[in-house]
Amino acid sequence: MTCRWRLSAVPDGTSGWRLETRTILTSDETDFHVDATLDGYEDGRRVFSRTWNKSVPRVNV
């Protein structure tokens, strides 16, 4: 499953800012896997980026 979100604002006198996220959830026989990315843009330039990769055991699922 993939989920994407975009949030933006353009205050007066600026080109604005934008946040974009992408999250992917997968699983195998023993774990759920989450891969997520967050990118922040200001005036059209990427100024922040972070990626997470986590696995969570499938307990009783």
pLDDT tens digit sequence for 35-59: 999 999 998 899 999 999 999 999 9
The helix (H) or strand (E) run that includes residue 35 is: strand 31-42
Is the four-CA dihedral 12, 15, 17, 21 of positive or negative sign? Answer: positive
Q: Is the pLDDT of residue 26 over 90?
A: yes
pTM of the model: 0.78
Compute the average pLDDT of residues 30-38.
Answer: 97
CB of 53 closer than 8 Å to CB of 35: yes
pLDDT grade for 6, boundaries at 50, 70 and 90: very high
Contact (CB, 8 A) for 21 and 35: no
CA distance linking residue 26 with residue 60, whole number of Å: 17
**What's the domain range around 19?**
2-57
Measured between alpha carbons, how far is 38 from 47 in angstroms, rounded to an integer? 11
pLDDT number for residue 43: 87
Domain count, the chain: 1
